[in-house]
Structure 1
C-alpha cells in the first residue's frame, strides 16, 4: 500500500482580465497532470514503486514544457499589442476607404480619380445591399468633392451605408470602372492579422486597405 502524499506546489498560469489566460486553459493542464500523477501513484506496483527521481523528472519535464508554453503566449500577446498600438492611435480620425461608409446629415468627402483619357465620368452610388440608388455625371476632373447624398429627384437619400464606383468612358467605350475612396470616422481598431478598422455605422476594412488619414473636418 502506498501512503498518501501531499500534492507538490506547482506554478499556475495567471488568470483574469488582461492576462490573456483563463482557469480553463493552462491551469487546467496542471490539474490534469496532478490527477494523472496521483492515479499513477495509487496504481503502481507495490513491489516496484516509482522512484523519487522518476517522480522529480516527470514533474520537472512537465513544468519546463508548461513554462515554455506560457512564455510563448506572453510573447504573442506582447507582439499583438505592439503591432496594434499604431492603429489604436487612429481611433477618432477619418480614414479614406473604399468600403461602404455611413452617410447622415453631413456631406461625405470622396476622392475622385477618373481614367485620364475619359471624356465622360459618372459617379455611381450603391446602398449597403449593393443596389444602385443614384448615378450622376461629374465630369473628368480629379480631386476631392463633397457628396451630399441626393437621389435622381433631388431628395436626400436615407441615412445609411453607401459605397461608390466611378465609370470612366470615352464616347461609348468604358475605359474603367473603379471603386471610389470616401472618408469615414474610425471608432474601433481590432488587432491581429494586420489589424482591422471599424468605421462609424458599423462597416469595416483591413488597416492595409486604408490609403489616407486626416483629422475630422
Structure 2
C-alpha cells in the first residue's frame, strides 16, 4: 500500500526549542508554542513519529522558561518596591548632616575631618583641594584616625573663599607614599535620589554625591 504525505519539513522533524526573544516575548508566546506543537503532531512522518516523551520535554522546557520569566518580573517589582520604601525611610536624612568621604561646602566655619591613614603609615599629610581638584593647602599631622579640625585659613591666617573643598590623606612610610584616601566629613544632606540602575545616592549641599552605603553616621544639623 502506498503511503502519501510522508514528507515533512525539517522544522517538523526537529524538536521545538523555546524562542530566544526578550522576556516579555517569551511570556506572551506560550499559545504560539502550543500551536506549533500541534502542527508538528499533525505533520509528523507516520513511519517515523516523534516519541511522546519528546513532546513532554518540549512542554516542560518551555514551561520552565515561562516560569523563570515570571519569577524575574516578580523580583524586579519587589526590588522597585523595596527601593521606594528605602527612599521614604531616608527622607528623614534631608536637612541633617551625614558623615562620608566627600567634598564639603565651606562657609567660614571650621571643618572636622575624620582621617583613615594606612596601618603602616609613620606620618601623614592632609591635602586640601578646591572644587576643581587644585591643591590649595597641605599640612602634616601625627598619624592617627582621631578627628582633625581644619580652620579654613591659609599659612598666613587668611580665610579661604567659600566653596566646595575635599581633603586627601596621604600616608607615608618614611619618605614613601603608601596610600592616599579621602577624609570623611559631615556635610548637609539636600536630597536622596534613586538612579535608573536602582542605586540610592545622597546629594549634599554644594552638589557632591555618594552612595547611601558610604554614609557612616547621621546627626542633627548644627544651628
TM-score using structure 2 length = 0.59
1:212 CA drift (Å): 2.1
Q: Which residue of 1 aligns with 2:165?
A: 162
Alignment partners' CA distance in 1, 2:153 and 2:164: 14
Two-structure CA RMSD over aligned residues (Å):
2.5
1:137–1:190 CA distance, 2 compared to 1 (3 A) = same
Alignment partners' CA distance in 2, 1:132 and 1:161: 12
Q: 1:197 aligns with which of 185, 196, 202?
A: 202
Matches within 5 A, 1:52-71: none
1:124 CA drift (Å): 0.3
Query: How many residue pairs align between the two structures?
Result: 148
| Aligned 8 A contact 2:108 2:152 in 1 | no
Deviations 1:48-105 (A, max 9, x none): xxxxxxxxxxxxxxxxxxxxxxxx9997875442121122121122111222110112
1:77–1:157 CA distance, 2 compared to 1 (3 A) = same
Q: Which residue of 2 aligns with 1:207?
A: 212
Q: Structure 2: 5+ residue runs without aligned partners? A: 1-73
Matches within 5 A, 1:1-217: 78-192=81-195, 193-217=198-222
| Aligned 8 A contact 2:115 2:146 in 1 | yes
1:127–1:82 CA distance, 2 compared to 1 (3 A) = same
Q: Structure 1: 5+ residue runs without aligned partners? A: 1-71
Of Structure 1 and Structure 2, which has the larger fraction of its residues in helix? 2
